[in-house]
């Protein structure tokens, strides 16, 4: 039995960064918004015991319970996909705030090149530069059009930074100065400057000073004691939906936040959504929530899965190349170099999730690819997140991995280890996509999403290139021992790399090759907005949050406009 | 506050109330914003030496998972070879790692409570082809853990297999072997040379190694890292609620006395 509820203007499926931003903006504009979040509610008061590496970082206290739902994975279509039974390569958020509760806070704008990647590549190198099988396409929006939305997020979150060389022009300065940092970041900056590169302190959502945002929300000052990624902030010093957009939305009186509410289907008829079906995860009771506008605002995987399980949109067919939902699934190539310093010792435990130094000389099209056999690149980064002892037991190459010598070396180098790594872009490929798994089901009996993904040749080459850069930098920094380059032969789902999964419901200017327009409005159902990393036509070489948050501001504008005028916004 | 309320606090283990005593806590010279207020009892570094000098009773050093003392002793000796006592300080046994593992196996991790556990499982009888090796072992590099076994069963079978291998190879119980021979057994385990029903022996070895490190470095709350000695050896400061500007920017390494969750919030 399904209980039908009164109609609302907007329903969001998930209340993380994207759902939270839309809830705040739409409710401020006077629209009635219902936020359906399958996890629990929580806030700053729930994070006071967070200095617990085992509970949060190793066991994933704040993460989605995989016993209820996971995804399946394989490298290519000829293989049988098996379920991801445990966490590895990425962590899925759960609860009010979503992954925005336990992100690190690194806030990167994508490069102007990203938004027009196909046009700009052809313009500079000719069409032959784009390898066979790559589905590189423009985003249907330019950096200049994105800029105001990036700035809205910067101000809402109180982003702390000074300058960002080799990135797009900014219309306004950062609202807060960069975080202070330790000597390891100075070493990186001095070394890379000598190498002729352009390092800078990465913009962080971990506020460098107390900050009141334009909505009147107070964000505290970062205390530099680590425990950010995989943890909530017990000071409310890291911008998260919980301390910003969710209270802003609630303050309007127009936002009805419903935790423990898991959406299982988007209802639609004749190219128009009518609402959603959700389950109260405490009682099992089913509800229909009718809505004028449905905003699908969960993580990449669930955005895709909901559409496919609801038969909304046209599924991508890798054989014919037709259809869009599930297309252009991407990730990143994440490689790096450990440096072991015999003559220096750092306070490794001190830091902040968003704290790091970075450079973009090897990112996007900031360097000449004429003689290279790949496109794009990646950001090169040294972070100072406050390293934790269970996860950090690196030893120089050749050291045994257990026993007396291991213990000795792992103790010695805990405070003498630095790492320089990259978030390398991944280019979309015809063979990489998301669809429904034919075998495995979630707790409700609905099919899991199936990921078919591996690096293509161009990703491997980019990975090797970037790993050579990180190694060279680490050697120049004066490390006594330097780790070997990492393998980028095949994507490894078992080892944590980054929660930067993208694509499947991609944006663009053409309904034949994209699922949503540049307002994140579905081509095939104009009162449905699908917002998140799912909209990225390729994955760039940056941290992924800022762009999906900016897109949520863009989508909010579209939703408000649509609520008045209706019709296709682009 | 009524007398009744005071008693309730005592029952919660709070010997003293420690609300925000030090409102001037700062980083970068900046006072913490309002969100902290009333949430956190700050660590009282002044301490009560009389309490701290008294060795607390280790009531948690008893078994909630293992039923056979011999299994527990074998486990302890294996972890000690992985993380041995040396001039830096205690090894796995001295740190309480075997108790840590026992407690974990009795809890939700031991029954893989947050893992996806629906079938079908692939156990070697199915081979669909392709490059991904299905069923030859459970630690296929690109597909992760696929065994039907829960971790407590992995430990049961792993310990049984170590003992059997020791008997077959050295005609001795594992716990009767000298350190070198114990290492030989562990090397065999690591190299997939020990038969364990349902899994490759390297999988058990890796999980044993990981559990050992967890027990050495997790908060003492979990039964290992006794007296924060794991953190002390590693010069890791544990639970610190704030670092100052000077600490963050210091060119020289600063020694910081570690604190635990118990010390910080419940002492």
Q: SS3 for A568?
A: coil
Whether residue B53 lies inside any domain: the answer is no
pLDDT at A79: 83
How many other CB atoms are found less than 10 A from the CB of residue A278? Answer: 26
Active site residue A500: yes
Strands (E), A184-315: 200-201, 211-212, 218-219, 255-258, 261-269, 272-280, 286-296
Whether residue B195 lies inside any domain: the answer is yes
Q: Are the C-beta atoms of A116 and A142 separated by less than 8 Å?
A: yes
Give the whole-angstrom CA distance, residue A452 versus residue A147.
Answer: 33
Handedness of CA A512, A516, A517, A521 (dihedral sign): positive
Decide if A389 and B209 are in contact by the 8 Å CB cutoff: no
Per-residue pLDDT at B18 exceeds 50 = no
Tell me: do B250 and B206 sit in the same domain: no
Decide if A66 and B116 are in contact by the 8 Å CB cutoff: yes
Note which residues in 35-54 of chain A have CB less than 8 A from chain B: 44-45, 48-49, 51-54
Tell me: do B165 and B257 sit in the same domain: no
Q: Give every CB contact of residue A299 below 8 A, 6+ residues apart in sequence.
A: A14, A16, A92, A93, A98, A99, A501, A532, A533
Closest partner residue to B28 (CB to CB) among A180, A225, A494 is: A180
Q: What is the ipTM of this complex?
A: 0.96
Q: Are the C-beta atoms of B253 and B37 separated by less than 8 Å?
A: no
pLDDT at B122: 77
Average pLDDT taken over every residue of chain A: 97
Per-residue pLDDT at A160 exceeds 70 = yes
pLDDT at A302: 98
More confident residue, A372 or B7: A372
Which residues in B lie closer than 8 A to residue A85 (C-beta atoms)?
112, 115-117, 144-146
How do residues A130-139 score in pLDDT, each as one tens digit? 999 999 999 9
Q: Are the C-beta atoms of B166 and B78 separated by less than 8 Å?
A: no
Closest partner residue to B240 (CB to CB) among A218, A225, A348 is: A225
Which residues in A lie closer than 8 A to residue B133 (C-beta atoms)?
none
Decide if A236 and B145 are in contact by the 8 Å CB cutoff: no
Give the whole-angstrom CA distance, residue A316 versus residue B51.
Answer: 66
Return the bridge partners of A2, or none: A286
Q: Give every CB contact of residue A397 below 8 A, 6+ residues apart in sequence.
A: A481, A483, A484
Radius of gyration, CA atoms only, chain B: 23
Give the whole-angstrom CA distance, residue B161 versus residue B85.
Answer: 25
Min Cα separation A389/chain B (Å): 6
Torsion of CA A62, A66, A67, A72, to 10 degrees: 180
Tell me: do B248 and B160 sit in the same domain: no
pLDDT at A542: 98
Tokens representing A528 are 């449905």
Give the whole-angstrom CA distance, residue A396 versus residue A474.
Answer: 14
pLDDT at B23: 34
Among A384, A390, A414, A445, pick the best mutation site for testing chain B contact (most B Cβ within 10 A). Answer: A390
Average pLDDT over residues A146-166: 98
Tell me: do B149 and B173 sit in the same domain: yes
Which residues in A lie closer than 8 A to residue B40 (C-beta atoms)?
48, 234
Give the whole-angstrom CA distance, residue B42 versus residue B17.
Answer: 10
pLDDT at B123: 55
Decide if A222 and B27 are in contact by the 8 Å CB cutoff: yes
Q: Are the C-beta atoms of A203 and A160 separated by less than 8 Å?
A: yes
Q: Give every CB contact of residue A268 below 8 A, 6+ residues apart in sequence.
A: A274, A310, A312, A525, A528
Give the whole-angstrom CA distance, residue A203 versus residue A154.
Answer: 9
Alpha helices by DSSP H, A287-385: 300-309
Note which residues in 364-393 of chain A have CB less than 8 A from chain B: 389-390, 393
Whether residue B128 lies inside any domain: the answer is no
Note which residues in 400-429 of chain A have CB less than 8 A from chain B: 401-404, 406-408, 411, 414-415
Give the whole-angstrom CA distance, residue A324 versus residue A318.
Answer: 10
Residue of chain B with shortest Cα separation from A242: B35
Average pLDDT over residues A508-526: 98
Tell me: do B185 and B206 sit in the same domain: yes
Average pLDDT taken over every residue of chain B: 80
Average pLDDT over residues A9-27: 98
Give the whole-angstrom CA distance, residue A363 versus residue A368.
Answer: 10
Tell me: do B73 and B99 sit in the same domain: yes
pLDDT at B56: 59
Determine which helix (DSSP H) or strand (DSSP E) holds A521, and give its type and residue range. strand A521-522
Give the whole-angstrom CA distance, residue A21 versus residue A255.
Answer: 12
How do residues A199-224 score in pLDDT, each as one tens digit? 999 999 999 999 999 999 999 999 99
Closest partner residue to A414 (CB to CB) among B129, B132, B236 is: B236
Residue of chain B with shortest Cα separation from A224: B243
Rounded (10°) angle between helices B151-170 and B69-82: 80
Which residues in B lie closer than 8 A to residue A414 (C-beta atoms)?
234-236
Could you tell me the CA-to-CA distances from A420 to A227, A392, A447, A479 in Å, in that order? 20, 15, 39, 11
Tell me: do B101 and B7 sit in the same domain: no
Closest partner residue to A180 (CB to CB) among B25, B118, B249 is: B249
- pLDDT band per the 50, 70, 90 thresholds, residue B17: very low
pLDDT at B198: 79
Tell me: do B198 and B253 sit in the same domain: no
Q: Which residue has the tokens 């570094």?
A: B45
Tell me: do B220 and B101 sit in the same domain: yes
Of A523, A535, A530, the C-alpha closest to A568 is A523
Give the whole-angstrom CA distance, residue A246 versus residue A259.
Answer: 12
Tell me: do B106 and B162 sit in the same domain: yes
- What does DSSP say about strands B30-31 and B26-27: parallel, antiparallel, or unpaired? antiparallel
How do residues B130-175 score in pLDDT, each as one tens digit? 333 444 443 344 678 888 899 999 999 999 999 999 999 999 999 9
Per-residue pLDDT at B50 exceeds 90 = no
DSSP summary character for residue A552: H
Decide if A223 and B234 are in contact by the 8 Å CB cutoff: no
Whether residue B61 lies inside any domain: the answer is no
Which residues in B lie closer than 8 A to residue A48 (C-beta atoms)?
39-40, 265
Q: Are the C-beta atoms of A293 and A475 separated by less than 8 Å?
A: no
Rounded (10°) angle between helices B179-190 and B151-170: 120
Decide if A48 and B39 are in contact by the 8 Å CB cutoff: yes
pLDDT at B218: 98
Average pLDDT over residues A414-443: 98
pLDDT at A297: 98
Rounded (10°) angle between helices B97-106 and B151-170: 130
Closest partner residue to B35 (CB to CB) among A86, A236, A491 is: A236
Domains observed in chain A? 2-565 (3.50.50.60)
CB contact A487 to B (< 8 Å):
no
Tokens representing B245 are 């500007």
Decide if A440 and B82 are in contact by the 8 Å CB cutoff: no
Among A43, A48, A50, A51, pick the best mutation site for testing chain B contact (most B Cβ within 10 A). Answer: A51
DSSP string for A28-67 = HTT--EEEE-SS----GGGGTT---IIIIIIS-TTB--TT
Whether residue B55 lies inside any domain: the answer is no
In the set A376, A429, A481, A500, the catalytic residue is A500
> With 0-12 CB in 10 A as exposed, 13-18 as middle and 19+ as buried, what is B183?
middle
Per-residue pLDDT at B1 exceeds 70 = no
Rounded (10°) angle between helices B151-170 and B201-217: 110
Tell me: do B215 and B246 sit in the same domain: no
Q: SS3 for A201?
A: strand
Per-residue pLDDT at A518 exceeds 80 = yes
Q: Work out how many CB contacts closer than 8 A connect A with B.
A: 226
Among B222, B248, B265, pick the best mutation site for testing chain A contact (most A Cβ within 10 A). Answer: B248
DSSP summary character for residue A537: S
pLDDT at A565: 96
Tell me: do B11 and B100 sit in the same domain: no
How do residues B189-228 score in pLDDT, each as one tens digit? 999 999 998 788 999 999 999 999 999 999 999 999 999 9
How do residues A64-90 score in pLDDT, each as one tens digit? 999 999 999 999 898 889 999 999 999
Alpha carbons within 13 angstroms on the beta-carbon side of residue B174 total 27
Note which residues in 91-150 of chain A have CB less than 8 A from chain B: none
pLDDT at B54: 57
Q: SS3 for A264?
A: strand
Decide if B238 and A51 are in contact by the 8 Å CB cutoff: yes
Which residues in B lie closer than 8 A to residue A493 (C-beta atoms)?
142-144
DSSP string for chain B = --HHHHHHHHHTT-SS------TT-EETTEE--GGGTTT-PPP-SS--HHHHHSPPP-TT-S-SS---HHHHHHHHHHHHHHS--BTTB--HHHHTHHHHHHHHHHSTTTTTTTS---S----SS----SSS--SS-S--TTT----S--HHHHHHHHHHHHHHHHHHHHSS-GGGS-HHHHHHHHHHHHTT-S-BTTB-HHHHHHHHHHHHHHHHHS-GGGS-SGGGHHHHHHT--BS-S---HHHHH-SS------B-HHHHH--
Work out how many domains chain B is built from and give that number. Answer: 2
pLDDT at B44: 40
Decide if A493 and B31 are in contact by the 8 Å CB cutoff: no
CB contact A88 to B (< 8 Å):
yes
Closest partner residue to A407 (CB to CB) among B83, B239, B242 is: B83
Whether residue B112 lies inside any domain: the answer is yes
Q: Give every CB contact of residue B3 below 8 A, 6+ residues apart in sequence.
A: none
Decide if B219 and A54 are in contact by the 8 Å CB cutoff: yes
CB contact A239 to B (< 8 Å):
no
Among B86, B144, B255, B261, pick the best mutation site for testing chain A contact (most A Cβ within 10 A). Answer: B144
Q: Give residue B35's domain range.
A: 3-42+238-265
pLDDT at A476: 98
Per-residue pLDDT at B185 exceeds 90 = yes
Give the whole-angstrom CA distance, residue A486 versus residue A499.
Answer: 19
CB contact A394 to B (< 8 Å):
no
How do residues B234-252 score in pLDDT, each as one tens digit? 999 999 999 999 999 999 9
Min Cα separation B267/chain A (Å): 14
Which residues in A lie closer than 8 A to residue B111 (C-beta atoms)?
none
């Amino acid at each position: 039995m399904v209980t039908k509820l009164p109609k609302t203007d907007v329903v969001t499926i998930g209340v993380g960064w994207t759902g939270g931003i839309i809830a705040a903006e739409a409710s401020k504009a006077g629209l009635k918004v219902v936020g359906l979040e399958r996890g629990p509610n929580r806030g700053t008061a729930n994070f006071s015991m967070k200095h617990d590496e085992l509970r949060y970082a190793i066991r994933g206290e704040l993460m989605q319970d995989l016993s209820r739902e996971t995804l399946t994975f394989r490298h290519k279509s000829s293989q049988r996909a098996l379920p991801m039974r445990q966490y590895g390569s990425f962590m899925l958020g759960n609860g009010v705030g979503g992954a925005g509760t336990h992100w690190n806070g690194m806030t990167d704008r994508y490069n102007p090149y990203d938004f027009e990647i196909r046009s700009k590549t052809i313009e500079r190198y000719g069409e032959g530069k784009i390898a066979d099988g790559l589905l590189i396409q423009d985003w249907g929006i330019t950096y200049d059009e994105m800029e105001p939305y990036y700035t809205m997020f910067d101000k809402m979150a109180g982003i702390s930074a000074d300058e960002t060389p080799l990135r797009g022009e900014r219309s306004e300065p950062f609202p807060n100065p960069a975080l202070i940092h330790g000597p390891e970041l100075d070493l990186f900056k001095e070394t890379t400057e000598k190498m002729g590169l352009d390092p800078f302190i990465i913009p962080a959502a971990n506020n460098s000073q107390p900050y009141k945002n334009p909505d009147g929300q107070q964000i505290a000052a970062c205390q530099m004691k680590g425990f950010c990624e995989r943890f909530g902030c017990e000071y409310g010093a890291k911008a998260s939906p919980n301390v910003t957009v969710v209270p802003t939305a609630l303050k309007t009186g127009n936002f009805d936040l419903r935790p423990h509410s898991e959406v299982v289907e988007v209802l639609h008829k004749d190219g128009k959504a009518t609402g959603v079906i959700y389950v109260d995860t405490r009682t099992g009771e089913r509800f229909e929530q009718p809505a004028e506008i449905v905003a699908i605002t969960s993580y990449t995987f669930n955005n895709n899965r909901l559409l496919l399980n609801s038969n909304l949109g046209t599924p991508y067919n890798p054989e014919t190349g037709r259809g869009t939902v599930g297309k252009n699934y991407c990730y990143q190539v994440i490689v790096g170099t450990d440096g072991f310093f015999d003559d220096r010792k750092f306070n490794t435990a001190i830091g902040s999730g968003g704290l790091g130094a970075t450079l973009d000389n090897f990112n996007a099209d900031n360097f000449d690819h004429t003689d290279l056999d790949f496109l794009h690149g990646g950001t090169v980064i040294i972070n100072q997140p406050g390293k934790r002892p269970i996860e950090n037991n690196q030893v120089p190459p050749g050291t045994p991995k257990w026993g007396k010598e291991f213990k000795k070396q792992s103790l010695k180098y805990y405070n003498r280890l630095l790492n320089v790594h990259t978030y390398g872009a991944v280019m979309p490929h015809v063979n990489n996509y998301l669809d429904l798994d034919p075998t495995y089901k979630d707790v409700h009996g609905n099919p899991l999403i199936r990921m078919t993904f591996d690096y293509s040749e161009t990703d491997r080459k980019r990975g090797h290139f970037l790993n050579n850069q990180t190694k060279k930098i680490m050697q120049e920094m004066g490390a006594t021992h330097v780790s070997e380059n990492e393998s980028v032969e095949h994507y490894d789902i078992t080892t944590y790399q980054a929660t930067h999964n993208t694509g499947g419901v991609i944006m663009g200017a053409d309904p034949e090759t994209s699922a949503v327009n540049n307002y994140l409005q579905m081509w095939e159902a104009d009162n449905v907005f699908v917002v998140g990393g799912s909209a990225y036509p390729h994955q760039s070489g940056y941290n992924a949050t800022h762009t999906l948050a900016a897109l949520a501001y863009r989508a909010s504008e579209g939703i408000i406009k649509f609520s008045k005028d209706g019709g296709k916004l682009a | 506050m009524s007398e009744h309320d005071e008693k309730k606090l005592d029952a919660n283990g709070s010997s003293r109330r420690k609300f925000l005593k030090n409102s001037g806590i700062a980083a970068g010279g900046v006072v913490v914003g309002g969100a902290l207020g009333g949430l956190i009892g700050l660590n009282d570094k002044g301490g009560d030496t009389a309490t701290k000098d008294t060795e607390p009773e280790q009531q948690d050093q008893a078994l909630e998972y293992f039923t056979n003392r011999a299994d527990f002793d074998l486990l302890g000796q294996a972890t000690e070879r992985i993380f041995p006592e040396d001039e830096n300080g205690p090894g796995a046994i001295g740190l309480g790692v075997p108790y840590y593992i026992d407690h974990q196996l009795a809890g939700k991790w031991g029954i893989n409570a947050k893992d996806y556990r629906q079938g079908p499982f692939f156990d070697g009888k199915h081979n669909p082809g392709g490059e991904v090796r299905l069923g030859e072992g459970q630690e296929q590099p690109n597909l992760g853990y696929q065994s039907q076994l829960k971790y407590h069963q992995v430990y049961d079978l792993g310990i049984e297999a170590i003992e059997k291998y020791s008997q077959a190879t050295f005609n001795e119980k594992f716990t009767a072997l000298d350190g070198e021979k114990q290492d030989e057994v562990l090397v065999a385990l690591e190299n997939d040379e020990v038969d364990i029903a349902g899994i490759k022996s390297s999988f058990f070895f890796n999980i044993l190694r990981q559990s050992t490190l967890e027990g050495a470095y997790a908060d003492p709350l979990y039964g290992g890292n006794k007296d924060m000695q794991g953190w002390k050896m590693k010069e890791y400061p544990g639970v610190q609620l704030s670092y100052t500007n000077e600490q963050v920017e210091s060119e020289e390494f600063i020694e910081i006395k570690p604190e635990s969750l118990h010390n910080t919030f419940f002492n």
